Amino acid sequence: MKMILDERGKKYVLKPGEEFQSDLGIIKSDVLDSAQVGDEVKSHLDHTFKIMKPNINDFIDIMDRRCSILIQKDIGQVLAHTGLGAGSRVVDAGTGAGAIALNFGNVVGPDGEVFTYEIREDFSEVARKNIERFGITNITVKNKDIKEGIDEDNVDLIFLDLPKPFEIFEEVHESLNLGGWLVVYAPYIDQAETSYRIAKKLGFYNIDIIETLERGLEVRPQGVRPKTRMVGHSGYLMFARKL
């Protein structure tokens, strides 16, 4: 897959055999198809575009969504807190457009596996197309309600983005490896609290609820200060480990 970046920093995915059109001009398909990553090409209006290979974050920025997705500050917490790595097996429920499944697949690598459950057929189809388009082959999308049963065992991480995730914690505990992690994404504190209490009752360890707030800095000639706007609440993350 190739991507082009225009002079304003806007990203576009290239489709083989098609010419590119934007308000900055047209680039013919033969020019795009022959261009290599790192090249610069010109539109008919003499604007410059750079040819790039998108990483996982670039692709998620421009992929088909049709629903809200987890943002980087929360995805990063999940990856860092659980120590997910190459060769891990992951179950994800509440696929949506596939953003966190793509991150999981990218981290666990070709020796790992990701199984993602989505009850809505339209969302599962969007996610499947996004995953295929990015070129990751270690992710299996299941158009299935995970409450009907978790098919996988020997799992290192189970991530649940569901209205009532605690309803399947017993099945989660059975499917996890010793040392495996349960992670819940909860927009509301009562979901996180109930998940915490049930996880504790079922014998999970290292139970924590985390909320991550992200604030950037403005660098100006007169000085540096925090930005007025910040990425505040998106959701709570509950972590629990099977030991």
> What is the structure's pLDDT at 145?
97
Whether residue 101 is found in the same domain as residue 120: yes
**Residue ranges for the chain with pLDDT beneath 70:** none
pLDDT of 102: 96
- Please give the pLDDT value at position 64: 85
User: Per the structure, how many domains does the chain have?
Assistant: 2
CA angle 47, 53, 57 (to 5 degrees): 105
Distance, CA of 127 to CA of 96 (rounded, Å): 7
Are 29 and 131 in a shared domain? no
Using only C-alpha atoms, what is the Rg of the chain? 21
What gap in Å lies between CA 230 and CA 215, rounded to an integer? 5
77 and 30, same domain (yes or no): no
Can you give the residue range of the structural domain that contains 29?
3-54
Residue 169, exposed/middle/buried by CB under 10 A (0-12, 13-18, 19+)?
A: buried
Q: What is the CATH number of the domain that holds 44?
A: 3.10.330.20
Same domain, 33 and 101: no
> Does 95 lie in the same domain as 119?
yes
The DSSP element (H or E) to which 108 belongs, if any, is helix 99-108
Q: Which amino acid is at 207?
A: I
176 and 225 belong to one structural domain: yes
pTM to 2 decimal places: 0.90
pLDDT at site 2? 82
Q: Are residues 96 and 22 in the same domain?
A: no
221: amino acid identity, one letter:
P
As given in the structure block, the two tokens for residue 179 are 């040392």
Q: Are residues 66 and 87 in the same domain?
A: yes
Q: Which residues pair with 209 in a beta bridge?
A: 238
pLDDT in tens, 19-31: 899 999 999 999 9
DSSP letters, 148-161, are G-----SEEEEEE-
Residues 32 and 68 reside in one and the same domain: no
CATH of the domain at 162: 3.40.50.150
With both helix axes pointing from N to C terminus, report the angle between 72-82 and 99-108 in degrees, rounded to the nearest 10.
40
185-220 pLDDT, tens digit each: 999 999 999 999 999 999 999 999 999 999 999 999
